[in-house]
Structure 1
Amino acid sequence: MRKGKLAKLYTLTTAAALVGSMIMPLAPQTAHADRGVVDLWKAIKPLTTIASAMNTGAHPDDEHSAVLAYLSLGKGVDTSSIIANRGEGGQNEIGSELGNALGIIRTRELQEASKITNIHLENLSEKIDDPIFDFGFSKSPDETLEKWGEDVAYERLIRKIRTLRPDVVIPAFLNEPSTHGHHRAINVITVRAYKDAADPTVFPEQLKEGLTPWQVKKLYLPATQKDYNVSVPVGAYDEVYGASYVQLGEESRFMHKSQGMGRVYDEGPSSNYYKLDQSVVKAKDKETDFFDGIAYTFTDLAKEVAGQSGGAKIASDLQKLQKDGEEVIAAYPHFEAVAKEVHEMITDVAKATADVQASGLSSESKTDLLHRLNVKQAQLNKASAESLSLVTKVKPETGELVAGQTTKVTVSAYNGGQVKLGKVNLALNVPKGWKATPQGTTSFNQLGYNETVKTTYEVSVPADADLFQPYAAPALTADVSYSFSGATATSHAVPSDAVAVLPAFALSLSPSATVLNTRKPQDPIPVKVTVKNYNPGEAKANISLDVPAGWSVEPKATPLDFAAKGETKSVAFTVKAASSVKPDSYKVTAVATGGGKESRHGAQVIRYPHIGTTYFVQPAELAIQAFDLKVPEGLKVGYVSSGFDNIDQYLQQLGVQVTNLTAKDIESGDLSQYDTIVLGIRAYGFRPELIPSNARLLKYVENGGNLVVQYHKPEDKWKPELAPYPIKIGEPLIQWRVTDENSKVTMLAPDHPLFTTPNKITEQDWNNWIQDRSAYNPAQWGKEYTELISNGDAGEKEFTGTFLSAKYGKGTYTYSSLVWYREIPALVPGAIRLFVNMVSLHQ
């Protein structure tokens, strides 16, 4: 089966989604006629090898996708990807979610990408607000490991290596100064783990839990064509998949949509290069592949054990498995023939496992063999389901549950193959403390072609059930066991979307963050609480606000009646601060009480076509930052959003009249009505009307307008001549940013209106910033600009082009690489005061 064009890879993408590592639920997929043949090959290819490899990285998208596709899809190697954090500190190219919400999106994208390359994915970060957090760009592996907690990160990596027992490990990056500190940190601990994972004195508590030390055979580092040991032919074209491994890898990278990843590659030869860094086996200068000198087949494994005491019988078993694997491949693409060979291999794996357990081999050999046989058993289960065209599903009545609820979940098995299956058993798995009671039979004597069997379970969620955690394993799964050709196999199924325990009453506050101006401490703060009923039916609740001591709220509480699940209602409150309120941070929490339940959380629904539906459950809070702020009356701002920030919303809260400008407004509208026009971050790259209309924007400035342009990357179609006087952005981008949010800032023009009007900016206004100072700073700029600040990371030359402003005609043009889009939603007082000054020029 050939498919010569990359566009046809969508068939493969869909197929891959059904057979990969299933940590999170899948979005519904479209069926394709040739999916079964491709999926069958993917399922049986791993039966030909017992080798394994691991790729380590820091963030979602760090994986070496083409090499992973080559190893897993091309060679059938048991391949894993270990990623440290969830990408919470990055930017978002598909929406406005940032922080933990973005981390959830990037995790789901990574999971979907991993299904396409058919690899096993794990993260070192285990939960929301985990210590191993993407805190933003770092230039230092030491800073990274300090913030993550070096022992925490290292213990988890050692645990992954001892659990998955890879023969080959490949960190995605080198420890080089030009590389992100997170990438460098993963390199540092991966290289160190090569020896330490085999040392029983390193994290001995893991051994008490049942893990055993594991010596990785080889450690490879990324290299160049000039100096390498292994060349990986990722440009090789695979006839079954109808694509090269580069193209297959890029199909997975297209899933990282929040990062704008994925490229279209033409067919043709290409290679990735790696240097052997450490090895316990003798290696040549130029190796044929990663596994030179390492047992790759069952025959290789048989040779290793044959000479050991009690090893002859085991060697014979392994040789039989080698023959089995070859016969499975030889039977392809005939489904029934493949199924018979797969089930014969299942029988032989069970025999080999029992023989190993009863043998006189050393405990070390037994552990290794049993691990590899367990991996093979899991692969055979997938191969069985594919070859028999068995479709198993678990369908909850609803994916949105509350503690104490009873619901129904159906487990089904459909036989699309031409042979009958026997002894079909449908089992639903639920978390500890939950109850699952079948409402009918769970066992069926046989299942014929085009027939379905199903069982509905009554599932009770305990009253103390934990709220949904997006990084936890699925709450509900099913195992369908069946027999064919004298052997039993099991198919594992998960729901097609997240099954989540949500607050009985999910609360959201608008605004979710706001400023309290201490110049007007008694100005009321209007708060709208929106409540969604997740109870299964009618419900009543009293809605109130918990406010700081000495503050007042009206009304005290409001009752709400809900007629059905999913109904949403809103309540308005007015909050007033204590008359003696001081500059500080405060919180207001929404509370819903009803039906014996109290809810203090909201449930943010995160839904995109490529990742399906999931949720972010978090406290229902309004963050309030009190500080002194002057805002000119009647200030009118036109905001050109790129979709990557929500600064416009915060300006409105401050009393600024903000209009979000449409393409028509920019192309032909009256721009002179605005005191200031602000371009959101990277706007030129995502608002196509801007470049053709740039002359209008500059004319607006020339006629007396105030134009504020936030940072851009060169790939955002930025050109120096877009500014009235040229501004060239520094490259490589990694070297033109300030990552220390506490770095010293020197105001080079302290008397400039940006630092005096209407708010007097002092050194204290640069305190308490978050994550970064600036990104993608200019390297060159016209002499007409006033350099407003000097700032840099410790030990580096300071940037003076971070904050530039110039008169142009009667107006002012300001270009700023300060990361306003992070600071203002975090309610950083100095950043807000500065931004107000920036949009208030000429007032």
Structure 2
Amino acid sequence: MCLLNKFKIILATGLGMLAGFAALAQVPETPSAGQILQDIKKLKVLGSVLYIAAHPDDENTRLIAWLSNHALYRTGYLSLTRGDGGQNLIGDEQGVELGLIRTQELLAARRIDGGEQFFSRAFDFGFSKNPEETFRIWDKQAVLSDVVWVIRQFRPDVIIARFPEDGRAGHGHHSASGIMARLGYEAAGNADEFTDQFGKGARVWQPKRVLWNTFNFGSANTIDSTKQFSLEVGQYNTLTGKSIGELAGESRSQHKSQGFGVSRQRGNSKEYFSLVAGEPVKQGLMDGVTTSWDRVKNAEGIEAMINGIIRLYDMEHPDASIPALLQLKSRLLAIQPFDQWVKIKLRDLDRIIQHCAGIYAEAIVTQPAVVTGDSAKLMLNIINRSDFPMSIRTIGFNDKFQDIQKPLPANVWTQIPYAVPMGNSLLETQPYWLRMPKKDGMFDVQDQQLIGKGENEPPTLEVFIALGNRVIKVNPSIQYRVVDPVKAELYNPIHVTNPFLLYNDPGVLLFRKNSSDSATLQVNIQSVKAANAASPNILLSGANSGYKQQMPQSAMQFAANDKKTITLKVPNYMKGTGKEEDVLHLSFKPGGSFGDAEFFNARRMIEYDHIPTQTWHYQDVVKVLHIDLKTVGKKIGYLPGAGDKIPEALLQMGYQVTELKEADLKPELLKQFDAVVMGVRAYNIHDYLAQAYEGLMTYVKNGGNLIVQYNTNNFISSLKGKMAPYPFSIGRTRITDEQSPVQFLLPNHPVLNFPNKITTKDFEGWVQERSVYHAEGLDANWQLPLGLNDPNEPMQNGSLAIAPYGKGNFVYTALVFFRELPAGVPGAYRLLANLLALPKH
């Protein structure tokens, strides 16, 4: 068997899972000679550590950087969630879209600190106060199965938990991750646990120990230097020119959506550990673990070969090491049985040889998207920047190969056109955890081989390059590249999309109870490529009402990336049904050459400078409300905060909404508004509000209603000045159980009676939580109409605080209107209408 075919078989049978777990780069790697030498040194080390916590940004980047770059262990971070329930400081994405951002921030962090990234299927549903609540929402056995699967696949020698199992963790997800670390350790080594995994590539694996990485942050200091094992992790690395603390700071600062930019740390620093399970530590982290090639059978002489390569390595001529590296590869291929560590090191070795030769390869498409049914046309750009003779033997995609036999002369930019058969389905590039509808607190992922992966394996070319009589494989990701005049080269993943995309505006249609009024719905149809819709129809279908309607349209001719807006009048089809809520699905049938094809997907592209563009497809449904809603007043001023969809809800309620800017916050301009609403965290992000205090208070004093949504007061977001007419502070209290009971402490207060009678029914169907960051330190000037509490906790009255002032009212609301209104929760609309209608005094 020729070496090329043998290598293909090895890759097909052994390396697929390993490649899928690696953090994926946006820009092709071009490491320095020093970094290459460090990678060669890492070939000697056969130890691995898995770090486990709950969210993106929970991980200890300093420890991960030390493990990967100083100890040279294979290091992974398993985050149980993708951070979907966090708070977004850089935009208005929430839920799964925020999870997409935070996933990429984690992958960007791992590219810096050298770790690999894993996830379970657990959905971050927001703040949780204890693990019991967490496991009521998550499927505990499913999460444990995922943890065990990752342990059995990654096979760590040591597991490190970020958090303890008790309240010191500060968050129910945190303590749950500590529980999962211990239970995963116990189950992964038990042949009677999760036996279905054994037929899918897993085998029993027992790590040596589980340690808890103790900490001192916030008000919790869990470090006991007299009893806990410690590591010095502040070393300086001359090969990279950075200390571990500098790498950690750069890695940590990738969590931009959470406001975790930090300084680079330099100098000595210790990490402390407490034993959770397994063998105790006597001398070092890897006590009882063989981390050299002695742990692999029939691997005699390999360490000596690597030492020889290191000794003769020439920083100015890394390509001089290629012959010895190729001999090392032949020796690894000869090892039988074929150990997992051999597979890992063969993968790393190919990358090292590529970098020693200065091989740069990219697979660039001319368009960012492939339409279903089409192929992607690309250009393979490749260059050999060494004097070592080599040639391309074969190019492949999805196990289909084409012989090329093209030399790669020294320092010559070579271009090879190629077409890859993509575009069979949107699912090819849809984030794998979003391919199926989410189930309560868990993503639905049916393919066991996908579970645990950081993201989809990107479409890549397989380029087999012959160096003498040896072969290495280079895997350039298929990407779209654009050159921006300011930002220069930008690389983004290619994605598969439908020829037509369908968007609805607004996302909620609100009908007054028993009104005959129709509602206006805009349907935006976007074509990805030129197309003719010969006999188009828009189809409307109610999920809960049986409503169906077909709306024929005139023929439409679309240019590429064209958009056409169609305005529909939707009747109040809920009238007389007795129902209050429905979900309206829309689809588009272009007819003509498209036959009976029906399109209903929208596409969202999330673009930030610090991550690759994220694309996902979804059905843009419309929530329909048919409720008893009364409103008073007409004109509302809205000052944007960190991002919410309150203005859209106000428009549906029938108000006229004016967006306010700093220059508008003057009493003579504000007096035209019946109420002014501040977006979430407005006082955290607009420093000028401190100077606008007097003008806003004058507006209230003269009879206006000022409604301030929640703000935070912590190390990330502090308040710069006064907010209200009377003193109060913002605490950390929140009500996380969205089904928790509500008490009316002031049942006769106008906010509970005018113009809508508020009952406990108005608090049914809330999503994720009740409230965040309550008002505290309130004196007798404040009216507190609502009492809330989570299970087994005392009642809290700071979720809604109203202060009559002069003729008007100041309101601080920690209630999560920013979640409930876009979700179409009827009671949230009715309660907001009452806040806007608070009477003058």
Out of 151, 158, 167, the residue aligned to residue 168 of structure 1 is: 158
Asked whether the 8 Å contact 1:231–1:272 carries over to 2, the reply is: yes
- The CA distance in 1 between the partners of 2:794 and 2:539, in whole Å, is 49
2:405 to 443, 446, 450: 443
Q: Call closer, same or farther: CA 1:720–1:692 in 2, change over 3 Å.
A: closer
What SS class does the counterpart of residue 167 from structure 2 fall into? coil
TM-score, with structure 2 as normaliser:
0.86
Counterpart selection for 2:524 from 526, 530, 537: 530
TM-superposed deviation, 1:407: 3.3
Aligned to 1:371: 340
In 2, distance between residues paired with 1:321 and 1:776? 60
The within-5 A match list for 1:683-762 is 683-715=682-714, 716-718=717-719, 721-730=722-731, 733=732, 736-762=733-759
Contact 2:651–2:657 (8 Å) recurs in 1: yes
Listed as ranges, the gaps of 5+ residues in structure 1 are 1-18, 126-131, 303-310, 358-369, 431-435
User: Cα distance, 1:552 vs. partner?
Assistant: 7.6
- 2: distance between equivalents of 1:661 and 1:697? 12
The amino acid across from 1:702 in the alignment is: K
Q: Deviations over 1:526-559 (max 9, x none)?
A: 1111111124655556141313367586x82214
Map of 2:128 onto structure 1: 138
Letter matched to residue 631 of structure 2: V
Query: Which deviations, in whole Å up to 9, do the C-alpha atoms of 1:124-174 show, x marking residues without a partner?
Result: 12xxxxxx2111111122332332211211111111111111111112211
Equivalence for 2:478? 495
Contact residue 526 and residue 574 of structure 1 kept, 8 A: yes
Shift of 1:28: 5.2
Residue correspondence of structure 1 range 523-602 to structure 2 within 5 A: 523-535=517-529, 540=534, 542-548=536-542, 556-578=551-573, 579-594=575-590, 595-596=594-595, 597-602=597-602
Deviations 1:423-461 (A, max 9, x none): 54322237xxxxx686xx5232x3122124443333334
1:215 counterpart = 2:203? no
How many angstroms does 1:740 deviate by?
0.5
The separation in 1 between residues aligned to 2:22 and 2:647, in whole angstroms, is 37
> Measured at CA, do residues 327 and 831 of structure 1 come closer, stay the same or move farther in structure 2, by a change above 3 Å?
same
Change (3 A) 1:163 1:476: same
Q: Write out per-residue CA displacement over residues 321-377 of structure 1, whole angstroms, 9 at most, x where no aligned residue.
A: 55356447x5446312333333232122112x23x35xxxxxxxxxxxx01111111
Q: Deviations over 1:385-443 (max 9, x none)?
A: 1111111222233331222223323334211223222454322237xxxxx686xx523
Distance in 1 of aligned mates of 2:682 and 2:181: 39
**Cα gap change, 1:274 to 1:790, in 2 (>3 Å):** same
Q: Which of 280, 294, 297 is the equivalent residue of 2:292?
A: 297
1:69 equivalenced with 2:69 (yes/no): no
How far, CA to CA, are the matches of 1:766 and 1:726 in structure 2?
29
What SS class does the counterpart of residue 677 from structure 2 fall into? strand
1:609-624 paired onto structure 2 within 5 Å: 609-624=609-624
Say if 1:273 and 1:503 are closer, same or farther in 2 by CA, change over 3 A.
same
Cα offsets for 1:642-665 (capped at 9, x unmatched)? 132121221112111211111221
- Amino acid in structure 1 at the alignment position of 2:764: N
Shift of 1:254: 2.0
Q: How has the CA–CA distance of structure 1 residues 541 and 102 changed in structure 2, closer, same or farther, with 3 Å as cutoff?
A: farther
C-alpha deviation, 1:269, in angstroms? 2.2
Q: Distance in 1 between matches of 2:228 and 2:329?
A: 37
Q: Which moved more, 1:336-345 or 1:53-62?
A: 336-345
Determine if contact 2:250/2:264 at 8 Å carries over to the other structure. no
1:482 aligns with 465
- Cα distance change, pair 416–513 in 1 and its aligned pair in 2 (3 A): farther
Work out which of the residue numbers 85, 94, 99 in structure 2 matches 1:98. 94
Q: What is the distance in 2 between the residues matched to 1:667 and 1:416? A: 64
Identity of aligned residues (%): 28
User: For the residues of structure 1 that align with 2:303 and 2:27, how far apart are their CA atoms?
Assistant: 41
Q: 1:528 to 1:39 in 2, by over 3 A?
A: farther
Q: Cα–Cα, structure 1 residues 342 and 489, in superposed 2: closer, same or farther, change >3 Å?
A: same
Map of 1:406 onto structure 2: 375
Distance 1:476 1:210, change over 3 A: closer
Q: Does 1:791 align with 2:781?
A: no
Deviation at 1:227, TM superposition (A): 5.0
- Name 1:366's counterpart in structure 2: none
Work out whether 1:183 is the aligned partner of 2:177.
no
Counterpart in the other structure of 1:836? 833
CA displacement at 1:518 relative to structure 2? 1.2
Q: Provide Cα deviations, 1:609-640, integer angstroms capped at 9, x if missing partner.
A: 221222121113211122110012x4222111
Correspondence list, 1:624-643, <5 A: 624-632=624-632, 634-643=633-642
> How many angstroms apart in 2 are the aligned matches of 1:606 and 1:85?
19
3-state DSSP of counterpart to 2:386 = coil
Q: CA deviation at 1:22?
A: 7.9
RMSD across aligned positions (CA): 2.6
Distance 1:74 1:561, change over 3 A: farther
Q: Are residue 150 (structure 1) and residue 140 (structure 2) matched?
A: yes
Match runs of 1:9-48 below 5 Å: 26-27=25-26, 35-37=31-33, 39-41=35-37, 43-48=39-44
**C-alpha spacing 1:470/1:781, structure 2 compared with 1 (3 Å):** same
Give the counterpart letter for 1:574 in structure 2.
K
DSSP-derived class of the 1:769 partner:
coil
Q: Secondary structure at the match of 2:665?
A: helix
Q: Residue 677 of structure 2 corresponds to which residue in structure 1? A: 678
Counterpart code for 1:65: T
Contact 2:783 2:802 (8 Å CA) reproduced? yes
- 3-state SS, counterpart of residue 664 of structure 2: helix
Does the Cα contact within 8 Å between 1:324 and 1:344 map onto a contact in 2?
no
Q: Indicate yes or no: 2:446 matched with 1:455.
A: no
* Kept in 2: contact 1:509–1:622 (CA 8 A): yes
C-alpha separation between the residues in 2 aligned to 1:214 and 1:384?
31
Q: Compute the displacement of 1:229 (Å).
A: 3.7
Spell out the pairing of 1:52-91 with structure 2 (5 A cutoff). 52-91=48-87
Once the two structures are superposed, what CA deviation does each residue of 1:182-234 show, in whole Å capped at 9, x if it has no partner? 11112112111212211111111222334211110121102215355432333
**Number of residue pairs matched by the alignment:** 771
Between 247-256 and 578-587, the greater mean CA deviation after superposition: 578-587
- Quote the residue 2:327 is aligned against: 344
Distance (whole Å) between structure 2 residues aligned to residue 290 and residue 169 of structure 1: 10
Moved more, 555-564 or 374-383: 555-564
Distance 1:543 1:750 in 2: 51
Letter in 1 for 2:728: I
8 Å CA contact 1:437, 1:458 repeated in 2 = no
Distance 2:113 2:423 in 1: 38
2:240 aligned with 1:235, yes or no?
Answer: no
| Distance 1:668-1:767 versus aligned 2 partners, 3 A rule | closer
1:308 alignment counterpart? none
User: How does 1:647-666 map onto structure 2 within 5 Å?
Assistant: 647-666=646-665
Aligned partners of 1:24 and 1:108 also within 8 Å: no
Q: Is the 8 A contact 1:43 1:382 kept in 2?
A: no
| Displacement of 1:755 | 0.8
Deviations 1:780-838 (A, max 9, x none): 12221012111111111111122111112222111111111111111111111111111
Corresponding residue number in structure 2 for 1:604: 604
Q: Which residue of 1 aligns with 2:13?
A: none
CA distance in 2, matches of 1:442, 1:826: 55
